[in-house]
Amino acid sequence: MDIGNGKFKVYPRLWAVGNFARFIRPGWVRVDATASPSTGVLVSAYRDKSAANFAVVVINKNDSEQPFSLVLEGAKGSSVIPYRTSATEKLDKLPEIKLEDGKLNVKLPPASVTTFVGNSK
The total number of structural domains in the chain stands at: 1
70-96 tens-digit pLDDT: 988 776 678 999 999 999 999 999 999
In our burial notation (b when 16+ CB lie closer than 10 A, e otherwise), range 38-64 reads eeebbbbbbbbeeeebbbbbbbbebee
Q: Which CATH number goes with the domain that contains 107? A: 2.60.40.1180
Domain that holds residue 89: 2-119
Q: What is the pLDDT of residue 35?
A: 93
- The per-residue pLDDT of the chain, averaged, comes to 89
Report field, pTM of the whole predicted structure over 0.85: yes
In the chain the beta strands, taken as DSSP E runs, fall at 2-4, 7-9, 29-31, 41-47, 53-60, 66-71, 79-85, 92-93, 97-98, 103-108, 112-119
